[in-house]
């Protein structure tokens, strides 16, 4: 380019920003019709120091923080540590068309050269165990201790596993890491029937991937609706219809009593004594933020580690971001939020004073031969009065619902035709 600036685009679906030219989003895998031009903000702040920045966690938040620090400080040391055995990768892709495939390399966010150029040191296979705020050092499970001047706490979250008897069996998997998908892949050839516990978006994505891998699949949902957080009742029903058409069973009010089987999983027993035969069980029951290390170090937490607009925790020198951080009571635990919080944490740790701007909670689902987009508030606050506009075309398998409050669009659901999502997102934002 004439002015030397890279041409960037932003994925409207996951919020990732990357160089123009990709056919699909490297983070969430949607096509280029979902990209809009993105103007990178000028970063004028510079402060070169000899400080050591220790980043715990190498997910979206950790990597974004590392990049933000290096953009402002060219001489400091940046060390990023994870307990996983790989470089940062696209976690959202785990439930999007990687089942049955070995795609380790393809999922990486950046190749090793990217980190080398920026002198960001990646340490893998090390679990952080303790933060000593007096000595300003972190101890890892292999006994090593690393000093820091500033610490970025970006340990993300873990899958919540309900205390169902039998949940420790080998063929029971909750998908959070690459290793979970690799485990599922190793079980696929021995499996015919899968039960997915949880009817949220990740459960549905997993169910679709398992179906595409040739298994017969049942989804168990404890409540009375699919994707209850993001859809209204009508949209939930509509989606259920599309899923049933694909030959996937859906059971509501399905409380699991036990995952049965002697040597191997044989089925899932419900509270009403129904047994669903299964040789593979995927649990998708939400996530819990990794807060304990920060709490032990004295940081205040709610659902996650509490941060102010600069991503500072209540412990000086420790910043938190991503799935493990909570700002103004909100922790959506979605990719764009982790990225934006990571950028803000990195910038502030590097000495600039910027404020994190909350993002609009938007979600897409591409599976079951349909596409779905849900954003904002689809009428979930009983204290509010909404005006609702709904369009439905059963033949075309399209449903659209728009929620307005005091004349303003506050939420929308699109199923079957998501072409309008860019405009909707802009209007809501
Ligand atoms: C299957 C799946 C699909 C998803 N799909 C979408 C989607 O479509 N759209 C969307 O917006 N979001 C999606 N998400 C959510 C999104 O991936 C997360 O919000 C995002 O990855 C959070 O990034 P993070 O950096 O905060 O945490 P993480 O990505 O969880 O990174 C934290 C890192 O810290 C490491 N770690 C944890 N504890 C320790 C320790 N004690 N010591 C050392 N390392 C440790 C972890 O191993 C991990 O590498 C999905 C998540 C999953 C699991």
pLDDT, residue 16, reads 81
CA-proximal residue: ligand 1, atom 26 (nearest): 322
Give the C-alpha separation, 163 to 172, whole Å. Answer: 13
- Residue 287 CA: nearest ligand 1 atom is 53
| Ligand 1 center–CA 27 separation, angstroms | 12
C-alpha of residue 347 to centroid of ligand 1, in Å: 21
Q: Lowest mean pLDDT: which of 112-121, 124-133, 206-215, 356-365?
A: 356-365
pLDDT tens for 337-380 read 999 999 999 999 999 999 999 888 888 898 999 999 999 999 98
If you measure from the C-alpha of residue 304 to the centroid of ligand 1, how many angstroms do you get, rounded to a whole number? 14
Closest atom of ligand 1 to 96 CA is 3
Beta-bridged to residue 234, according to DSSP, are none
Of 232, 258, 226, 231, which Cα lies nearest the Cα of 244?
226
CA–centroid distance, 214 to ligand 1, in Å, is 28
pLDDT at 106: 87
pLDDT higher than 60, residue 392: yes
Does residue 156 line the site of ligand 1, with CB under 6 A? yes
Question: Residue 324 CA: which ligand 1 atom is closest?
Answer: 26
- Say what the pLDDT of residue 7 is: 86
pLDDT at 2 > cutoff 60:
no
The residue with greater pLDDT, 322 or 27, is: 322
- With a 6 Å cutoff on the Cβ, whether 127 touches ligand 1 is yes
- The whole-angstrom separation of Cα 405 and Cα 379 is 9
- Cβ(198) – ligand 1 distance below 6 Å: no
176-191 average pLDDT score: 95
Task: Report DSSP state, residue 274.
Answer: -
326 bridge partner residues: 306
The pLDDT assigned to 5 comes to: 65
Q: How far apart are the CA of 256 and the centre of ligand 1, in A?
A: 26
CB of 335 within 8 A of CB of 27?
Answer: yes
Q: Does residue 24 register a pLDDT over 90?
A: no
pLDDT at 3: 47
Retrieve residue 168's tokens: 């420790």
Query: Considering only CA atoms, which residue is closest to atom 33 of ligand 1?
Result: 57
Beta bridge partners of 340: none
Residue 154 CB–ligand 1 contact under 6 Å: yes
Q: How far is the CA of 281 from the centre of ligand 1 (A)?
A: 21
pLDDT(97) > 80: no
Going by alpha carbons, the residue nearest to atom 7 of ligand 1 is 92
Q: Interior CA angle at 38 toward 419 and 373, to 5°?
A: 25
Structure confidence at residue 122 (pLDDT)? 98
Average pLDDT, the chain: 94
Q: How far is the CA of 82 from the centre of ligand 1 (A)?
A: 11
Q: Which tops the pLDDT comparison, 329 or 28? A: 329
Counting Cβ atoms within 10 Å, is residue 238 exposed (0-12), middle (13-18) or buried (19+)? Answer: buried
Give 290-309 pLDDT, tens digit per residue. Answer: 999 999 999 999 999 999 99
């Amino acid at each position: 380019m004439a002015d030397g600036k890279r041409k960037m685009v932003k994925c409207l679906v996951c919020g990732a920003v990357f160089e123009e030219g990709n056919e699909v989003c490297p983070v969430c895998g949607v096509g280029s019709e979902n990209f809009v031009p993105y103007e990178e903000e000028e970063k004028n702040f510079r402060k070169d120091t000899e400080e050591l920045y220790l980043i715990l966690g190498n997910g979206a938040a950790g990597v974004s923080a590392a990049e933000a620090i290096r953009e402002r400080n060219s001489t400091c040391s940046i060390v990023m540590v994870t307990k996983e055995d790989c470089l940062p990768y696209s976690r959202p892709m785990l439930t999007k068309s990687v089942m049955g495939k070995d795609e380790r390399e393809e999922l990486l966010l950046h190749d090793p050269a990217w980190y080398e150029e920026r002198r960001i040191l990646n340490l893998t296979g090390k679990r952080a165990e303790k933060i000593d705020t007096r000595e300003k050092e972190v101890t890892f499970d292999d006994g090593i201790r690393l000093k820091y001047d500033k610490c970025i706490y970006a340990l993300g979250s873990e899958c919540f596993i309900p205390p169902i008897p039998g949940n420790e069996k080998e063929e029971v998997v909750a998908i959070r890491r690459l290793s979970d998908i690799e485990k599922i892949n190793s079980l696929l050839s021995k499996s015919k029937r899968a039960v997915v516990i949880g009817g949220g978006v990740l459960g549905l994505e997993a169910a679709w991937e398992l179906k595409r891998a040739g298994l017969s699949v049942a989804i168990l949902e404890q409540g009375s609706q699919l994707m209850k957080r993001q859809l209204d009742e009508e949209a939930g029903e509509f989606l259920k219809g599309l899923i049933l058409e694909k030959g996937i069973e859906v059971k509501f009010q399905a409380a699991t009593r036990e995952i049965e089987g002697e040597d191997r999983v044989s089925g899932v027993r419900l509270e009403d004594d129904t047994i669903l035969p299964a040789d593979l069980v995927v649990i998708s029951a939400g996530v819990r933020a990794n807060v304990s290390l920060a709490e032990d170090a004295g940081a205040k937490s709610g659902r996650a580690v509490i941060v102010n607009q600069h991503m500072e925790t209540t412990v000086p020198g420790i910043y938190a971001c991503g799935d493990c951080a909570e700002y103004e009571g909100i922790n959506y635990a979605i990719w764009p939020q982790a990225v934006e919080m990571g950028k803000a944490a990195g910038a502030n740790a590097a000495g600039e004073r910027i404020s994190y701007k909350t993002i609009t909670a938007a979600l897409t689902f591409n599976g079951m031969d349909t596409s779905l987009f849900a954003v904002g508030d689809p009428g979930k606050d009983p204290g509010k009065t909404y005006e609702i506009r709904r369009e439905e075309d059963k033949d075309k398998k399209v449903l659209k619902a728009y929620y307005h409050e005091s004349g303003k669009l506050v939420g929308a659901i699109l199923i079957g035709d998501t072409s309008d999502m860019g405009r909707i997102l802009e209007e809501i934002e």
